[in-house]
Chain A
Amino acid sequence: MAQSFCLAKFNQPVEARAAIRRLLQAGIDPKSMDVMTSQPIHGEPFLPDQQPTKLRTWALGGAAIGLAGGFSLATFTALAYPLVKGGMPIVAPWTVGLIAYETTMLGAVLATLAGLLVELRLPSFSGRPYDPSVVDGGVVVAVPCSDQNRKSIEDAVSAAGATTVNWV
């Protein structure tokens, strides 16, 4: 049987937090839940983040690759076609540094973008649980459910003040 989800919508974050508390107490794995909002909600997270982001590492890795690439490109290009230009050495440190600087930045930009997409598994057009009404405000809590726990989930989110409960 395909996995189904309960999408409970709350007007206020405080209600969503209350529902999450009830769901956790009912034995729902926090890693299986999702909380959707139309904007980032500041303060402590709704759910403990399962995996801390490694975007900074991605950016640094991309920068390192860009640095090596730019340095190699400018150096080996000059060595492959060794003409003295403007009295400069064949491999001129200033110009190699300049190209390496730009490619370092380029590497960091591209790696940050790539890291974001990889960490979020985007693009994803498959049927992940989603309630389009979240863009008009409120908080949607998505909880995976089965026939056995459907009732307890519905009770938990309703008791916390869910305005709508959908099953997908």
Chain B
Amino acid sequence: MATPTPTPRFTEERINRDLLGPLFKTSGIYYVVTGLLLIVAMGVFVAWGLQLRYGIGMAGKNRPAFWGLYITTFVFWIGISHAGTLISAILRVVQAEWRRPITRCAEAITTFALVTGSLFPLIHLGRAWLFFWMIPYPNSRHLWPNFQSPLMWDFIAINTYLTGSVTYLYLPMIPDMAVARDKAIGWRKSVYRTLALGWRGTEREWVRLEKAISIMALIIIPVAVSVHTIVSWDFAMTVMPMWHSTIFGPYFVVGAIFSGIAALLIAMVMIRKYFKLEHYLQPIHFDNLAKMLLAMSLLWFYFTFTEYLVTWYGNESAEMPVFWSKISGRYAPMFWLMVTCNILIPFPILAIKKLRTIPLIFFASCCILVGMWLERFLIIVPTLVHPYLPYNYGHYWPSYTEMAIAGGTLGFFVLLYFLFAKFSPMISIWEFEEGLQVASKHRGELPEPTFAGQIARGDIHPGH
């Protein structure tokens, strides 16, 4: 593990200066990188525009594989979205003090990964302008959504999760928006003033905000679990080889948290380096998250092993072609690359203390993201090209439109994250300060005498 960065003496002024600095000072590199990301993100919308203009045929979908890169990447992004809100909420609920500098980074990942992932059902619809048919409201068509369809469950669950995640991101941001309001000038001041909602930091406000955040944390955990379970049911509710599995729900949730933590670590490394936040994002934070990542890697391997072992042992005639296509057939290179990226590379890096350095954790996290994308692809495509009836077997190769859209969303996501980092402190200022206060109490400083308690006890009488 890397040597801890020497901690300077933190004061509120210094914390404000360090964490608000990126909001008010913009380097040339930021503009260049943002410009490049904008071009990549534009590529997504140009490709989508062409698909809308010329039809869904541009996506190259054909029998039997009607789901390909779009749904693979959709599941991937929804998985990434589990980084933030779920991890942040769990750490808040268990009062893990080391969570404080990482919660904002994590919650932002959730929000923007959900926004990115939510594009895919629209893109996959083909006639995207008819998406409102999924919204249940009385209409002249006398048509109502079919709530017995797992795709409608997706729609409801993702919207719930998005609403919850945005709220959960915004609530702890309110006091930081107030700090930005008090430090900003010009048009920025007006923006932050609006977003701060008139926050003053009164005792009454803090009590209620902390209560609201703790309630939200409790609500968001089951929602996050339900979302990826429901995404898994898009597959498991169909009677398709290697999809109709009872463990798909937890298997997907584990994979989602696994890829989510990896994405969070990558984001933290970038933020730490680019915004020069070495004193805030310390090696201990990476070390703790790396241990969580190791646990999830082992859990993921356990689920994968169970899933494949049971299939192999069952030896069902419809499932074996799918199984062998992954183990030794057309998809074997991708399968073994997935295993390498998800367990063989990360395991030693994350398990051996000396290897658990920030650069190697970053490398392992990148491998895991590649591995988890492959995992989603390998769940979806081999099954689709090997349906029950062998004369329906087919091939799938993504079209350029699909590749441009799926690949481009990475740029779109990073662009949103970059813009957010210019707009909000990436480390929650007040939570970090509160952490210092808690740490000083843990060091043995006695609590101060208080007077509210004395008033309640009648020791002090207002007016006397």
Q: Which residues of A contact B (CB under 8 A)?
A: 13-14, 17, 20-21, 24-25, 27-30, 34-50, 53, 55-56, 59, 73-74, 77-78, 80-81, 85-86, 88, 92, 95-96, 98-99, 101-103, 105-106, 108-110, 112-113, 115-117, 119-120, 122-126, 128, 130, 132, 134-138
Is the pair B145, A77 in contact by a Cβ cutoff of 8 Å? yes
Q: Nearest CB to that of B147 among chain A residues?
A: A74
Q: A96 to chain B: which residues have CB within 8 Å?
A: 147
Pick the residue among B147, B153, B207, B215 that contacts A59 (CB under 8 A).
Answer: B215
Pair count A-B, CB < 8 A: 211
Q: A40 to chain B: which residues have CB within 8 Å?
A: 206-207, 209-210, 430, 434
Q: Nearest CB to that of A14 among chain B residues?
A: B448
Query: Taking each of A43, A47, A98, A124, which has the highest tally of chain B beta carbons within 10 Å of its own beta carbon?
Result: A98
Q: Would you give the shortest CB distance from B46 to chain A, in whole angstroms?
A: 34
Pick the residue among A24, A27, A38 that contacts B460 (CB under 8 A).
Answer: A24
A–B pairs, 23, beta carbons within 8 Å: A17-B448, A24-B460, A27-B462, A34-B202, A34-B204, A36-B201, A36-B203, A37-B206, A39-B430, A40-B209, A40-B210, A41-B206, A56-B211, A73-B147, A92-B148, A98-B230, A99-B156, A102-B226, A103-B160, A105-B164, A109-B164, A136-B12, A136-B16
Stretch at the interface among B29-37, B116-124, B178-186, B351-359: B178-186
Q: Would you give the shortest CB distance from A31 to chain B, in whole angstroms?
A: 10
Q: Would you give the shortest CB distance from B201 to chain A, in whole angstroms?
A: 5
Q: A103 to chain B: which residues have CB within 8 Å?
A: 156, 160
- Given A37-B201, A39-B175, 14 other A-B contacts at CB below 8 A? A25-B464, A35-B202, A38-B433, A40-B207, A42-B437, A49-B207, A77-B136, A99-B153, A105-B219, A116-B209, A120-B208, A124-B197, A126-B198, A137-B12
Is the pair B437, A122 in contact by a Cβ cutoff of 8 Å? no
Instruction: Check: B441 CB closer than 8 A to any chain A CB.
Output: yes
Is the pair B164, A17 in contact by a Cβ cutoff of 8 Å? no
Q: Nearest CB to that of A21 among chain B residues?
A: B451
Q: B212 to chain A: which residues have CB within 8 Å?
A: 55, 112-113, 115-116
Is the pair B16, A110 in contact by a Cβ cutoff of 8 Å? no
Is the pair A55, B223 in contact by a Cβ cutoff of 8 Å? no
Is the pair A38, B216 in contact by a Cβ cutoff of 8 Å? no
Q: A55 to chain B: which residues have CB within 8 Å?
A: 208, 211-212, 215
Query: Taking each of A47, A92, A96, which has the highest tally of chain B beta carbons within 10 Å of its own beta carbon?
Result: A47
Is the pair B211, A109 in contact by a Cβ cutoff of 8 Å? no
Given the interface pairs A35-B202, A128-B198, A135-B179, the reply to whether A44 lies near B450 with Cβ below 8 Å is: yes
Is the pair A41, B437 in contact by a Cβ cutoff of 8 Å? yes
Q: A53 to chain B: which residues have CB within 8 Å?
A: 207-208, 211
Q: A110 to chain B: which residues have CB within 8 Å?
A: 163, 167
Instruction: Check: B193 CB closer than 8 A to any chain A CB.
Output: yes
Q: B198 to chain A: which residues have CB within 8 Å?
A: 122-126, 128
Instruction: Check: B456 CB closer than 8 A to any chain A CB.
Output: yes
Instruction: Check: B7 CB closer than 8 A to any chain A CB.
Output: no
Given the interface pairs A37-B206, A122-B198, A136-B16, the reply to whether A24 lies near B462 with Cβ below 8 Å is: yes
Given the interface pairs A40-B430, A102-B157, A137-B12, the reply to whether A122 lies near B199 with Cβ below 8 Å is: yes
A136 to B156, CA, bound (A): 43
Is the pair A81, B144 in contact by a Cβ cutoff of 8 Å? yes
Instruction: Check: B453 CB closer than 8 A to any chain A CB.
Output: yes
Instruction: Check: B455 CB closer than 8 A to any chain A CB.
Output: yes
Q: Nearest CB to that of B202 among chain A residues?
A: A34
B residues contacting the other copy or chain, number (CB 8 A):
76
A106 to B222, CA, bound (A): 12
Q: Would you give the shortest CB distance from B50 to chain A, in whole angstroms?
A: 35
Q: Would you give the shortest CB distance from A156 to chain B, in whole angstroms?
A: 13
Q: Nearest CB to that of B199 among chain A residues?
A: A122
Is the pair A102, B160 in contact by a Cβ cutoff of 8 Å? yes
Is the pair B182, A135 in contact by a Cβ cutoff of 8 Å? yes
A42 to B441, CA, bound (A): 9
A108 to B463, CA, bound (A): 42
Is the pair B219, A24 in contact by a Cβ cutoff of 8 Å? no
Q: Would you give the shortest CB distance from A60 to chain B, in whole angstroms?
A: 10
Given the interface pairs A119-B208, A120-B208, the reply to whether A113 lies near B167 with Cβ below 8 Å is: yes
Query: Taking each of A14, A53, A128, which has the highest tally of chain B beta carbons within 10 Å of its own beta carbon?
Result: A53
Q: B11 to chain A: which residues have CB within 8 Å?
A: 137
A162 to B41, CA, bound (A): 53
Instruction: Check: B452 CB closer than 8 A to any chain A CB.
Output: yes
Given the interface pairs A34-B200, A136-B16, the reply to whether A95 lies near B179 with Cβ below 8 Å is: no
A141 to B321, CA, bound (A): 73
Is the pair B216, A109 in contact by a Cβ cutoff of 8 Å? yes
A83 to B140, CA, bound (A): 19
B389-413 CB contacts (< 8 Å) to partner A:
none
Q: A105 to chain B: which residues have CB within 8 Å?
A: 160, 164, 219, 222-223, 226
A39 to B455, CA, bound (A): 24
Q: B211 to chain A: which residues have CB within 8 Å?
A: 53, 55-56
Instruction: Check: B6 CB closer than 8 A to any chain A CB.
Output: no
Is the pair B430, A59 in contact by a Cβ cutoff of 8 Å? no
Instruction: Check: B8 CB closer than 8 A to any chain A CB.
Output: no
Given the interface pairs A17-B450, A49-B207, the reply to whether A42 lies near B438 with Cβ below 8 Å is: yes
Is the pair A38, B144 in contact by a Cβ cutoff of 8 Å? no
Is the pair A46, B448 in contact by a Cβ cutoff of 8 Å? no
Q: A113 to chain B: which residues have CB within 8 Å?
A: 167, 171, 212
Is the pair B452, A47 in contact by a Cβ cutoff of 8 Å? yes
A39 to B156, CA, bound (A): 36
Q: Would you give the shortest CB distance from B429 to chain A, in whole angstroms?
A: 8
Instruction: Check: B146 CB closer than 8 A to any chain A CB.
Output: yes
Pick the residue among A27, A78, A130, A137 that contacts B13 (CB under 8 A).
Answer: A137
